[in-house]
Structure 1
């Protein structure tokens, strides 16, 4: 039975207080009073408005959506049991077995925070972008400006229209990437047969993309390999990067990491983007973004 004095607001404050700025890739400035994360920092990390976080902690917002709770759990680096506790405090059922997890282990989050110099994106098993470094937002475009559906890489590769590659300025790698993505979705469907979002995505692409339908019906198999990718940026033009896909044993998330050779013209372009967008040398953002929409 839950503690009668425990609310989602008290739990959020407790979890926020235990995180240090370094845990989320921030620099603790001199004179900082808060030992843990500020509400403003939690709001930015979770993609929420500061006012909404305040209302949650004060108990004035009592019915957050499952998407909001999942975002807060990732931002606060909760363990699975703590994440489930947050869902219950919000009056929601925790994610059930057979569905794709959006949980990013705390160790992975700390590692990504320390890779702030590089564009890094963290993806779930269905290739939906879960979190990213400021350098990723500068190079690829701020994912916070896209809907959750538009943050799915498979949809971006195969779909046409506004959800397609127009929102991801990475030139398509062709059949190799396509086969690997289709194979990943097939594996995810075996592992998560009860995930409605995954089955809907597959059904959508089988109808909307002849290429996806062909590869799916063929039983395409493939694997991700290190590759060169060209990113077309509106400020600096083409940036050629080495792309690596990293996996974590015992965890479903994938890390996509873009790097360039030191001293190259592409490195100069990335440095220019970091400086002009206000990122420090380690890729961290010195000021908060906003405002964010209230759910």
Structure 2
């Protein structure tokens, strides 16, 4: 498109989304056909003023993290995401690196799964998106850094603050460490040009004897259903089943917590869930 800028593309992409696409209520009498700037800013974790300046062409050098966050919020396809990077004067994410892109179909599914605590992770096990129920059950990770939202670090280096704001007791996750190490080894093969993966592996080998042993042994493992008890500060213990789901054609995986209907755990989860919003939240920068 002649004369297209990042600002014009953002407006076009924003106009094609409805509030329901991102899990927002579609209130009667709404004038805007698509998302409001305020809604996009909230979804992308940016200030409204910055989104306005981007659309008006007054902010011309957004970072790659900002563009990636906007691409997730706007539910862009991979080719559109790459186009957004080029319009921002950036190189698109290279093949062979870990993708932070969450497919639009996964995002639409998350927006309709607000009742369930669900987290979306990248191939290096960094948390990218989460439902409101995840935030109220596990703790809101919005202001955490990428490093503190990484499950590998949480499991092997004890950095649980990024993924859980309060204690979590693992009942039967004996195979989780092996499965995570196996995943990381696969990611290293699948993403040979990613500079952060070797750095993460070196960091974990240096800081965790358990990780180093599993890595040197060539550990293999698979994710199975497990049970965890979250010591929630508002309602006490909530015991959940935890499952890891993969997305065909994508590197992302979903971690889903569920509870038995009619149980005390379900009542406690419902009590804290109703305090949450009604849409998925993306990692914010």
With the shorter chain as reference, the TM-score category is: over 0.9
Deviation at residue 250 of structure 1 after TM alignment: 1.2
Counterparts of 1:241-252 in structure 2, within 5 Å, are 241-252=240-251
Deviation at residue 138 of structure 1 after TM alignment: 1.1
- Give the secondary-structure state (helix, strand or coil) at the position aligned to 1:175: coil
Q: Are 1:80 and 2:78 an aligned pair?
A: yes
Counterparts of 1:142-157 in structure 2, within 5 Å, are 142-157=140-155
> Cα deviation per residue 1:45-88 (whole Å; 9 max; x = unaligned)?
11111111111111111111111111111111101110000000
Match of 1:98 in 2: 96
> Cα deviation per residue 1:1-30 (whole Å; 9 max; x = unaligned)?
xx4411111101100110111111111112
Match of 1:255 in 2: 254
> Cα deviation per residue 1:74-133 (whole Å; 9 max; x = unaligned)?
111101110000000111000111101111111111111111111111111111111111
Match of 1:141 in 2: 139
Runs of 4+ in 1 over 2 A off after TM superposition: 166-175
Gaps in structure 1 of 5+ consecutive residues: none
Question: When the two structures are aligned, how many residues end up with a matched partner?
Answer: 280
Which of 97, 110, 113 in structure 1 is aligned with 2:111? 113
Counterparts of 1:158-177 in structure 2, within 5 Å, are 158-160=156-158, 164-169=159-164, 170-172=168-170, 174-177=173-176
Equivalent-residue separation in structure 1 for 2:217 and 2:33 (angstroms):
55
Relative to the length of structure 2, the TM-score reads 0.93
- Give the secondary-structure state (helix, strand or coil) at the position aligned to 1:144: coil
Match of 2:212 in 1: 213
Which of 29, 34, 37 in structure 1 is aligned with 2:35? 37
Which of 113, 120, 123 in structure 2 is aligned with 1:122? 120
Deviation at residue 174 of structure 1 after TM alignment: 4.5
Match of 2:234 in 1: 235
Match of 2:225 in 1: 226
- Give the secondary-structure state (helix, strand or coil) at the position aligned to 1:74: helix
Gaps in structure 2 of 5+ consecutive residues: none
- Give the secondary-structure state (helix, strand or coil) at the position aligned to 2:268: helix
Equivalent-residue separation in structure 2 for 1:177 and 1:17 (angstroms):
42
Equivalent-residue separation in structure 2 for 1:190 and 1:32 (angstroms):
49
Relative to the length of structure 1, the TM-score reads 0.90
